[in-house]
Structures are given as structure tokens and as C-alpha cells.
């Protein structure tokens, strides 16, 4: 028991801290997330990224506000979507795909248009299975794309708030 008590200060005093404090560059305390531009042929892909970023920032901070009230705007674009087949069945039909999405984002001060932070060529991917039934396959692809959006939203949040 005495050993355990002696170890407690070491465990709690080791310098561990949580990353992602929610601090934005340029001492910005509020931002608006502008709808993503979508340069792909996939409908609603820009909407998936806009929604994922809003969810990420609302859940972690800083304040997400309407554009008219924001100190800065988080702008983004879906640059590219590629679908690559990974596995085939015995009749040479694709049964598994990898969806890879590339995005670019930047944080712009609303007053003067100064770019405070920028990240280009961010990529994320997810794999999904297809069955040959169009509705189910579209649903599987959409779910994979939503997960890519959520993954990249988290990466964008941490890069932005940690200065990477």
C-alpha cells in the first residue's frame, strides 16, 4: 500500500496533458465553417465535410458562430475523390473498394482576409464492400465517405489547434 501511495505523485506529475486545447491561430476565439466547395462528381460530398467539421468543432470548441459574427472563416474544398477496386469475386466483379478523398482547408480572418492557417493535400480513405445491389452499394459508399469526412475533420481540428 505504501508503494502505491509513493507512485501516485509520479503518475500524476509526469507532465501528461491532453492535446487539442481548442486554441486557434491569431488569437481567434470564434469561427464560422463555410460550406465546402465540391470539385468532384459525387453529390453532397462537400456537405459531408461541412457537417463533419461543424460537429468536430462544436464538440471540442472554439465557438462556432454564423459568418456575420465570426472572427475567422474556415473554408474548404473537396479537391478529388478516387474509387479503387481492391477485391473481386469469381466472375471478376469488384466486391471491395477504397474511397480516397483529398481536401484543402484554410482559416481566414474575416476582417482583413488574412490567411491564418492552411493545409493542402489532406487525404483520407476508407474501404467498403459492395454486393451488386445498387441501393445497398450506394449506401455503403456514402457511409465510407462520411467516415472519411469525420476522420479528416478530426485531423483538421488537431492540426489547426496545435499549429501543425
Each residue of 107-136: pLDDT tens digit?
999 989 999 999 999 999 999 999 989 999
Whether residue 93 is contained in a domain is answered as yes
Spatial CA neighbour of 25 closest among 132, 117, 139: 117
- pLDDT at residue number 22: 58
Whether residue 11 is contained in a domain is answered as no
Q: For residue 163, what pLDDT band results from cuts at 50, 70 and 90?
A: confident
Whether residue 12 is contained in a domain is answered as no
The CA distance from 121 to 79, in Å, is: 8
Instruction: Identify the three-state secondary structure at position 162.
Output: helix
Whether residue 53 is contained in a domain is answered as yes
Averaged over 16-44, what is the pLDDT? Answer: 83
CB atoms inside a 10 Å sphere around CB 39: 15
Averaged over 20-26, what is the pLDDT? Answer: 72
The CA distance from 35 to 52, in Å, is: 11
Q: What are phi and psi of 50, to 5 degrees?
A: -60, -45
Q: How many domains does the chain have?
A: 1
Lowest-confidence segment of 23-27, 120-124, 157-161 by average pLDDT: 23-27
Whether residue 15 is contained in a domain is answered as no
- Full residue range of the structural domain in which residue 128 is found: 21-162
pTM over 0.85: no
- pLDDT at residue number 156: 96
Whether residue 66 is contained in a domain is answered as yes
Whether residue 141 is contained in a domain is answered as yes
Whether residue 55 is contained in a domain is answered as yes
Amino acid at each position: 500500500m505504501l508503494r502505491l501511495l509513493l507512485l501516485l505523485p509520479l503518475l500524476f506529475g509526469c507532465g501528461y496533458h491532453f492535446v487539442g486545447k481548442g486554441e486557434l491561430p491569431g488569437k481567434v476565439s470564434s469561427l464560422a465553417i463555410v460550406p465546402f466547395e465540391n470539385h468532384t462528381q459525387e453529390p453532397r460530398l462537400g456537405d459531408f465535410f461541412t457537417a463533419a467539421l461543424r460537429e468536430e468543432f462544436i464538440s471540442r470548441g472554439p465557438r462556432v458562430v454564423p459568418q456575420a459574427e465570426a472572427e475567422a472563416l474556415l473554408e474548404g474544398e473537396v479537391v478529388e475523390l478516387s474509387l479503387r477496386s481492391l477485391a473481386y469475386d469469381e466472375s471478376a466483379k469488384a466486391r471491395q473498394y477504397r474511397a480516397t478523398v483529398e481536401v484543402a482547408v484554410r482559416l481566414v480572418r474575416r476582417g482583413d482576409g488574412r490567411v491564418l492557417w492552411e493545409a493542402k493535400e489532406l487525404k483520407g480513405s476508407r474501404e467498403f464492400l459492395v454486393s451488386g445491389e445498387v441501393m445497398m452499394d450506394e449506401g455503403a459508399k456514402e457511409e465510407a465517405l462520411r467516415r472519411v469526412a469525420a476522420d479528416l475533420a478530426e485531423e483538421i481540428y488537431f492540426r489547426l489547434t496545435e499549429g501543425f
